[in-house]
């Protein structure tokens, strides 16, 4: 079974579920999951998890995302994007670039966003878009989302191209709709490209065709990111061999039960290098902060999981396990 993450470039016309279904056929594996829905007409970064990496799906979904979007002013649609049925059209000739830019900038920060009816959110067990297609509109609760940054890239009224960095759960379609409503002319989303999802960037993404070619050439491992790659920003901890079973079984372990490197080699030159490396690691780590997350490995550097440090008792407690027990036993 393949374990890891593929940074997929989702092309127009595919749903996120389509991508997963096609990958199952390409890699001949059922255990696959995506990390955040993209609309069929949207493009861009869609991290897809394989095997034990599917345990990451909720963690990756929670991360901030960056989009490039085109806002079209003067049109309001039922889907809040250009593919929907036009509900209202208004003139935009009176708008100035300064007025539009000031309005858009006002959405930076936290705001209460009403999820669109055409979305995969569920109400009483039914997806909203299923109800919307039946002409049924139900009451939804506003959700707090955060727009970390909006960078206006081009203004050519009635269109505005902008880059948006936002929190999880933000609907860019709804942001466009809300900007249009605030300006009094209506608005919808004309195009959307996701350029970043947490650790994953557009420049490193691959189309399904490229994954299929890599798989056919026996090179899938070359493009499959290891599970621990997304935790590169966390400190690395190696548990000493006598205590490895504690971590293997998801039990807490103490700060005194960790080391950093395998035994020092006999070669004096190599030994000096290892000792220097050990000292550098210890210096870099310093003292652990209360609540700090770390990535934990065994002596052979098999990735075990993510632990959190509790300063009061000086112990690490498991947050998420990723151990491949068979690999650990090899």
Catalytic residue positions?
Answer: 39
**Pair (59, 105) in one structural domain:** no
Structural domain including 173 reads: 69-185
**Pair (145, 204) in one structural domain:** no
The torsion angles phi and psi of 190, rounded to 5 degrees, stand at: -100, -25
Between 267 and 139, residue with greater pLDDT: 139
**Pair (59, 162) in one structural domain:** no
**Pair (75, 171) in one structural domain:** yes
In a domain, 148, yes or no: yes
In a domain, 190, yes or no: no
Q: Which residue has the tokens 């300063």?
A: 311
In a domain, 120, yes or no: yes
In a domain, 179, yes or no: yes
Q: What is the pLDDT of residues 167-200, one digit of tens each?
A: 999 999 999 999 999 999 999 999 999 999 988 9
DSSP secondary-structure letter at 55?
G
Q: What is the pLDDT of residues 97-143, one digit of tens each?
A: 999 999 999 999 999 999 888 887 887 777 888 788 888 888 888 99
**What is the spatial distance between Cα 160 and Cα 191, in angstroms, rounded to a whole number?**
11
H or E stretch including 195?
strand 187-197
Parallel/antiparallel/unpaired status of strands 43-50 and 187-197: parallel
**Pair (138, 224) in one structural domain:** no
**Pair (31, 128) in one structural domain:** no
In a domain, 192, yes or no: no
**Pair (20, 95) in one structural domain:** no
Last residue of a domain, one of 153, 185, 217: 185
Residue 136's domain is classified under what CATH number?
A: 3.30.2350.10
**Pair (178, 81) in one structural domain:** yes
For the residues of 68-89, what is the DSSP string, one character each? EEEEEETEEESSSBTTS-EEEE
**What is the spatial distance between Cα 20 and Cα 48, in angstroms, rounded to a whole number?**
7
At a CB cut-off of 8 Å and minimum separation 6, what does 239 contact? Answer: 246, 247, 253, 257, 258, 259, 296, 297, 298, 299, 304
Structure tokens, 51: 């095997």
**Pair (91, 33) in one structural domain:** no
H or E stretch including 159?
strand 159-166
Between 252 and 232, residue with greater pLDDT: 252
Q: Indicate if the pLDDT at residue 329 is higher than 80.
A: no
Q: How many domains does the chain have?
A: 3
**Region 205-224: what's the mean pLDDT?**
95
Q: Indicate if the pLDDT at residue 265 is higher than 80.
A: no
Q: Are 308 and 317 in contact (CB under 8 A)?
A: yes
Q: Give Cα separations from 6 to 25, 44, 198, 217, 290 (angstroms).
A: 15, 13, 14, 16, 33
Q: Give Cα separations from 217 to 19, 54, 321 (angstroms).
A: 20, 25, 32
């Amino acid at each position: 079974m393949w374990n890891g993450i593929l940074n997929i470039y989702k092309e127009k016309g595919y749903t996120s579920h389509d991508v997963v279904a096609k990958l199952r056929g390409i890699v001949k594996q059922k255990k696959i999951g995506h990390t955040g829905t993209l609309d069929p007409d949207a493009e861009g970064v869609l991290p897809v998890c394989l095997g034990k990496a599917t345990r990451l799906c909720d963690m990756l979904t929670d991360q901030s995302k960056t989009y490039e979007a085109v806002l079209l002013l003067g049109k309001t649609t039922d889907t809040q994007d250009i593919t929907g049925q036009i509900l209202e059209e208004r003139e935009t000739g009176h708008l100035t670039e300064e007025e539009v830019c000031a309005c858009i900038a006002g959405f930076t920060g936290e705001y209460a966003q009403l999820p669109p009816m055409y979305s995969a959110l569920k109400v009483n067990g039914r997806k909203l878009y299923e109800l919307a297609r039946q002409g049924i509109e139900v009451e939804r609760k506003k959700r707090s989302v955060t727009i970390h940054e909006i960078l206006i890239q081009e203004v050519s009224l009635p269109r505005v191209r902008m880059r948006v960095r936002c929190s999880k759960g933000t609907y860019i379609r709804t942001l466009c709709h809300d900007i249009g409503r605030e300006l009094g002319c209506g608005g919808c989303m004309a195009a959307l490209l996701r350029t970043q999802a947490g650790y994953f960037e557009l420049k490193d993404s691959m189309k399904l065709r490229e994954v299929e070619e890599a798989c056919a050439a026996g090179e899938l491992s070359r493009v499959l990111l290891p599970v621990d790659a997304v935790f590169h920003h966390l400190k690395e901890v190696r548990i000493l061999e006598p205590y490895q079973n504690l971590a293997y079984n998801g039990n807490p372990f103490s700060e005194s039960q960790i080391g950093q490197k395998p035994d020092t080699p006999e070669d004096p030159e190599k030994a000096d290098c290892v000792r220097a490396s050990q000292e550098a690691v210890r210096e870099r780590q310093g003292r652990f902060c209360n609540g700090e997350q770390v990535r934990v490995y065994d002596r052979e550097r098999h990735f075990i999981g993510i632990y959190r440090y509790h300063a009061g008792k000086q112990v690490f407690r498991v947050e998420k396990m990723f151990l491949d027990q068979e690999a650990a036993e090899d």
